[in-house]
Chain A
Amino acid sequence: MDEFSTNRNDKRGLPFGFRRKPLDIRMEEENWKEVESAIRQLETSSAGTAGAPVRIVRGKWLVKVMAAAAAVAALVIGLWWVSTRTGHPEEMAVIRTGYGEVKNIHLPDSSMVVLNANSSLRIPSSWTEAAGRQVWLDGEAYFQVQKKPSTVQKFVVHTKEVDVEVLGTKFNVNTRRQRAIVSLEEGKVRLTMNGVVSSVLEKKAALVMRPGQVAEVDEDLQAKVNEDKDVAVRSGWSRHEFHFDHTSLGEIARLVQDTYGYEMVVEDSAMLEKQISDAGGVRVSDVHDLVKVLMVASGFHMDIREKKIYVTKH
C-alpha cells in the first residue's frame, strides 16, 4: 500500500492545523466585475482577439488587439445584462439565506438585521404609520433596532413561539429547533408568547427582559430566563465568530446542521459528549475552516464527504 496515496489522511498526524483567513465576499464580486468588463471590452472591440496579449496596468485594463485590420473600437463598458427587477409591488418581501450564508439587511427605519444561515425574514414592502415596524423571522437573526420616538410604533419581531417588542436595542433571536431563544445585549424588550393559550393562563403571558438576559421559550410556551455574562457571544455568528466553552460535540453538531446543513456522523455516540473549548473565539469563513478547528480542539479526525462529516477517533 502506498503511504502517499491521494487521500489526505496524513494530515491527521499534524498536531496543529491550518486556517485560511476569511475572505470578504465583496472582494470576489468586485474582482469578477473587472474580469467581466474586460471580457466585454474584448467582445465589443474588433474581430480577431484570439492571441491578444492581455495585461493589467495599474488597475486599468490595457488590451492590445493584434488583428491586422480595423482600429480598436471605442471603449464601451456597459452592463452585460440589465438588472432583473420585476417592478411589481409585493405585499411582503421575503429574504432567505441558504446554508452557510449570512446576509445583512437594512430596514426602512435604518435598523439593521443580520440574517443567519438557513433562515428567512419577511418584511412588508412598505412600513406605514398604522402598521408600524414589523417583521417575521424563521431561523436566526441579530437585530440592531433604531430608537424611535414613543409616538411612532414600536418594532416587533414575530416568530412562531414569541413576539419580541423592542425599543432601540441589540438582541439576538434564535428560533431553530422548535424553540425561541432571545438574548438581549442592550436596551429593553418585551416578549409575548404566541400560539394556543392553555386553559390555565387567562391571557398571553408577557415577559420584560433586561440586558444580559437570555430567555428560552419552548414549543409548550414555557419560558426560562437566565443571566448570561457574555450575551454578545450569542450573536458572534454575525461577526463570523464561534465560541465554544465546554460545549459538547453533540451541540456543535446541531449548530453545524443548522448553519451549514451538514450532518455529523460519529463512530461512537460517546464522542458526542466530548467537550470543546476554544481559548478566545475562532473566526471561520466556512464549514471546512470550522471542521479544521474542531479537529484540533477535539483530537478527533473528521472527514467531509457529500455534506456529511464523519468523525472518527483516528
Chain B
Amino acid sequence: MLTVEGDTNAFRSIHGELFGGLFDYALKLLQDAQQADDAVQELFVRIWVKRAAIGPLQKVKAYFFTALRRQALNQLRNRQSRELRIGMMPRPDIEFSPEEIVVRNEEQLNLQSRIAAVLNELPKRQKEVIYLHYFEEMDYTQIAEVMGIHYQSVLNLTQKALRQLRTADLPGVLLALSALYIASKGMR
C-alpha cells in the first residue's frame, strides 16, 4: 500500500502510477495542457509539503484526485473571478472527444461523434460522474469522495445520465440501452 510518508522513492512511484489519470482529469477541468501539467506538478509539491500532517493514506488515489479537483477549481475561480459571484465555486465542464469513444466496427464510425455529442450535452455533474466512473474506473464511494457529494447523489446522477443516453437519438445503441434500463429497474 502506497503512503505519502517516507522518502521520495515512494512518492515517485505514486507519481508514476497516478500521473496519467491526474493529468487527464486536470486537462478536462482546465482545458489547457500547459496548465494541466503545471497543476499536477503543483499538486505533488503541495502534498509533499503536507505529508507529515497527512500520514498514511487508506485511499491514495481518491486523496490525490480530491485535492486536484479542489486545486483546479480554485484556479478556475481565480481566473473567472470577474464573471462569477465571489465565493461561488465553478462546476467542472468536462468535454468528451470522439477519439475517446470506442464502438463496434460494424457500426458507423461517425457514431463516435454522435455519442460524444450526446455525452457533452449532459449536465455537468452527470458528465463528471460518467468520466470518473468509466475513464478513471472509480467506484461510487471514490466518486462521492472526489466530488464531495453523497453516495446516493452519485447513484442518482448515474441513473439520470443513463436515462438521458437512452432517450437520445442513437440508432442501434437505443435498443441495447433500453435493455440495460429495464434490467436495472427490474433489479430493485
Contacts and interface: CB of A to CB of B under 8 A. Distances in A.
Interface of A: 1, 3-4, 6-8, 10-11, 13-21, 23, 27-28, 31-32, 34-36, 38-39, 42, 49-52, 54-56, 59, 61, 80, 277-279, 282, 285, 292-293, 296-297, 299
Interface string B116-134: 0000000000000000011
A141 B133 CA distance: 36
A18 B134 CA distance: 7
A261 B45 CA distance: 34
Contact of A13 (B23, B48, B109, B180): B180
A299 B104 contact: yes
Interface in B167-188: 172-173, 176-177, 179-180, 183-184, 187-188
A282 B109 CA distance: 13
Contacts of B187: 1, 3
Interface string B55-95: 00000000000000000000000000000000000000000
Contacts of A297: 104-105
B41 A56 contact: yes
Contacts of A50: 49, 52-53
B153 to A, nearest CB: 12
Contacts of A282: 102
A34 B41 contact: yes
22 contacts: A4-B155, A8-B137, A13-B176, A13-B183, A16-B103, A18-B101, A19-B99, A19-B102, A20-B24, A21-B100, A27-B23, A28-B23, A32-B12, A32-B19, A35-B41, A35-B45, A39-B8, A42-B49, A52-B49, A54-B42, A54-B45, A282-B102
Given A18-B134, A18-B135, A54-B46, A31 B37 contact: yes
B41 A31 contact: yes
A16 B101 contact: yes
Contacts of A4: 140, 155, 158
B133 to A, nearest CB: 8
B31 interface: no
A292 B134 CA distance: 11
Contact of B184 (A3, A51, A56, A296): A3
A299 B102 CA distance: 12
Interface residues of B, number: 52
A6 B141 contact: yes
B186 to A, nearest CB: 9
Interface of B: 8, 12, 15-16, 19-20, 23-24, 34, 37-42, 44-46, 48-49, 52-53, 99-105, 109, 111-112, 115, 133-135, 137, 139-141, 155, 158, 172-173, 176-177, 179-180, 183-184, 187-188
Nearest to A39: B48
A56 B103 contact: no
Nearest to B48: A39
A119 to B, nearest CB: 22
A227 to B, nearest CB: 25
Contacts of B8: 36, 39, 80
Contacts of B183: 13
Given A4-B140, A6-B139, A19 B101 contact: yes
A179 B150 CA distance: 57
Contacts of B101: 16-19
Contacts of B38: 56, 59
Contacts of B158: 4
Contact of A39 (B24, B45, B111, B176): B45
A16 B49 contact: no
Nearest to A63: B45
Nearest to A298: B104
A28 B15 CA distance: 8
Contacts of A17: 101-103
A32 B23 contact: no
B99 A38 contact: no
B75 to A, nearest CB: 10
Contacts of B141: 6
Nearest to A293: B102
A38 to B, nearest CB: 5
